Structure 1
Amino acid sequence: MAETDTDSRQPALRVVASPQDTNAAGDIFGGWIMAQVDVAGSVAAYRRAGGRVATVAVDSLQFHQPVLVGDLVSCYAEVVKVGNTSITVHVEVFVERDSRAGITRLKVTEANLVYVALDENGKPRPV
């Protein structure tokens, strides 16, 4: 599934998938992808909150295709809702995969996460 052009957006996170992150089938472990999604989402939430945030919910997470060793994984994060203390972020994960046909860009995962802004005592604070 080739997806929309992501060249105009800057990724919140970009990393190459490595062999140590594989599951028993040899694909990249879903938990590793989830961790990258959370890191990317927290970058967008941190910027919007102007400081410390904590993940409070993963509202949805969909794996569309497996990630393979050697894929260049790019996570794009966008703030989609701001509450009193919470920030909802939509994260899309694309890979660039080298194949015989050239470089293929695929959307592999997307998620919606909720973060809460925290004060210096770790208590929720207004955004």
Structure 2
Amino acid sequence: MITKNPYQDNRHTSLRTLAMPADSNPSGDIFGGWLMSQMDIAGGFYARQLSKSRVVTVAVEAMTFHLPVFVGDEVSCYCETERLGRTSIAVHVETWVRRDQLSDDSIKVTEAVYTYVAIDEDRKPIPIKKPES
């Protein structure tokens, strides 16, 4: 299932990294927990930028692993707002890989919705300023 990544030119590229041997199990597949953490980092960057405040992860829902990630894959996470509440932001994170870094072909391997809450210095929820339309 090789496809052109529909998000590749999108401004919401939140993270790009390389899957390394230390992130894999003995079979050479990347640990799902490592991938989830990369997605959480990407979603956190996105939510912080949108909220203009510190954010914390409060939930992960609908995590779907479509295909494995292998050592050497270029891993990219793309984010978009799914829901914007008073103090929370639900971010849809898609993860795509390029198995051959010399190719433009990408494969969607994972997606999930991460929910973040904006907090103040005392770690109390604060309202998110809505973006100007």
**TM-score normalised over the length of structure 2:** 0.88
1:121 deviation in Å? 0.6
**Count of residues paired in the alignment:** 125
Please, which of 44, 49, 54 is the counterpart of residue 47 of structure 1? 49
Percent identity, aligned pairs only?
50
CA RMSD of superposed structures (Å): 1.4
**In the alignment, is residue 76 of structure 1 matched against residue 82 of structure 2?**
no
Q: Which moved more, 1:55-64 or 1:1-10?
A: 1-10
Structure 2 unaligned blocks of 5 or more: 129-133
Task: Work out the CA distance in 2 between the residues paired with 1:65 and 1:5.
Answer: 18
Q: Structure 1 stretches (4+) deviating beyond 6 angstroms?
A: none
- Structural mapping, 1:99-110, within 5 Å: 103=103, 104-110=105-111
Structure 1 unaligned blocks of 5 or more: none
> What do residues 59-89 of structure 1 show as CA deviations (whole Å, max 9, x unaligned)?
1111100001100000001112111111000
Corresponding position of 1:60: 62
**In the alignment, is residue 94 of structure 1 matched against residue 96 of structure 2?**
yes
Task: Work out the CA distance in 2 between the residues paired with 1:61 and 1:83.
Answer: 21
Equivalent AA in structure 2 for residue 94 of structure 1: W
Higher strand content, 1 or 2 = 1
Corresponding position of 2:2: 2
**In the alignment, is residue 124 of structure 1 matched against residue 125 of structure 2?**
yes
> What do residues 18-43 of structure 1 show as CA deviations (whole Å, max 9, x unaligned)?
00000132101110000001000111
- Structural mapping, 1:22-41, within 5 Å: 22-41=24-43
**TM-score normalised over the length of structure 1:** 0.92
Task: Work out the CA distance in 2 between the residues paired with 1:44 and 1:12.
Answer: 6
